[in-house]
């Protein structure tokens, strides 16, 4: 394997491997296997996901986003902010840009040390539907914020069984065949939301989920318990801010703002993929 330069980024605790693939340095042969191998923690680079930056005829660049298990995902809010900062730092785009994703064209703007991205409009919002789990029925809201999300309100987000319950809902027949990401959210008296996320494709809790934070903000706004801008504290302790407009139950002009930190630059060797 030829040595491949990569960059490690973190968005509010979500970590990503980013590779500039505009000259096709990554072969498409068994790409899913390649991604899953280098996203392994302790055995390789380790990450929640991998982003390939590629050429586009309609925007500043195109991305292909992969979960750590090698599966494709339409959108990732934290990954999008990291991709935008990468593109700016390495001269691919200016401080205001747009890029292609499987969820549509995403626009982004660098604001000092943070990145603000404009999301696709949320779709398929449903609230307080009962589904049956092993321990009984639970009330679940759901919305698609580029990828599908389930949202469960809880008074004790710290005590939520994020992995066990999250995994059961993620594979529940109510969300088949694609499955869903799962969020557990609490509302503080000051209007700040606390969110923990089980991510499809990672198949575990992550320290943050950008599209998940958008999902909980929209669901809580729809239920008249939050308003724009909504500040959300993630599992990492980092804060993401969701901006949106609403008219007659329709949410639009949704933006996600937060950090996008470059951690290091490295070089993949053959052992990283074994």
Residue 265 bridge partners (DSSP): 7
The residue annotated as part of the active site, out of 12, 39, 76, 213, is: 76
Q: What 3-state DSSP class applies to 30?
A: coil
The rounded distance, in Å, linking the Cα atoms of 121 and 160 is 29
Q: Look up tokens 């999008």; give the residue.
A: 80
User: How would you label 103-117 residue by residue, b for 16+ Cβ within 10 Å and e otherwise?
Assistant: beebbbbbeeebbbb
- For 47-113, the DSSP string reads -SEEEEEE--SSSSEEEEEEETTS-B-S--HHHHHHHHHHHHHTTSS-SEEEEEETTEEEEEEEETT
- In the residue annotation, 209 being an active-site residue is answered as yes
Strands 49-54 and 181-187: unpaired
Task: Report H helices in the chain.
Answer: 31-38, 77-89, 162-170, 210-222
- In the residue annotation, 273 being an active-site residue is answered as no
The residue annotated as part of the active site, out of 12, 39, 82, 209, is: 209
Name the residues annotated as catalytic. Answer: 76, 209
């Amino acid at each position: 394997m030829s040595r491949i330069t990569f960059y490690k980024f973190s968005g509010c605790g979500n970590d990503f491997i980013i590779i500039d693939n505009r000259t096709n340095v990554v072969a498409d042969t068994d790409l899913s296997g390649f991604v899953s191998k280098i996203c392994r923690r302790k055995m390789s680079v380790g990450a929640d996901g991998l982003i390939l930056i590629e050429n586009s005829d309609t925007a500043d660049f195109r991305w292909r986003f992969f979960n750590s298990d090698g599966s494709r995902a339409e959108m990732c809010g934290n990954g999008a902010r990291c991709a935008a900062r990468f593109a700016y730092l390495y001269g691919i785009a200016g401080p205001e840009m747009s890029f292609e994703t499987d969820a549509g064209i995403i626009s982004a703007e660098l604001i000092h040390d943070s990145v603000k991205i404009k999301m696709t409009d949320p779709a398929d919002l449903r609230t307080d539907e009962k589904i049956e789990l092993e321990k009984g029925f639970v009330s679940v809201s759901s919305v698609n914020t580029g990828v599908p999300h389930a949202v469960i309100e809880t008074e004790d987000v710290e005590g939520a069984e994020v992995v066990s319950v999250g995994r059961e809902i993620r594979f529940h027949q109510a969300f088949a065949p694609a499955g869903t990401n799962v969020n557990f959210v609490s509302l503080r008296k000051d209007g700040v939301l606390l969110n923990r996320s089980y991510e499809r494709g990672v198949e575990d809790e992550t320290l943050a989920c950008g599209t998940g934070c958008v999902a909980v903000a929209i669901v809580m706004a729809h239920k008249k318990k939050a308003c724009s801008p909504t500040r959300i504290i993630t599992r990492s302790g980092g804060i993401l801010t969701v901006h949106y407009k609403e008219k007659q139950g329709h949410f639009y002009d949704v933006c996600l703002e937060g950090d996008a930190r470059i951690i290091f630059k490295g070089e993949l060797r053959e052992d990283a993929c074994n």
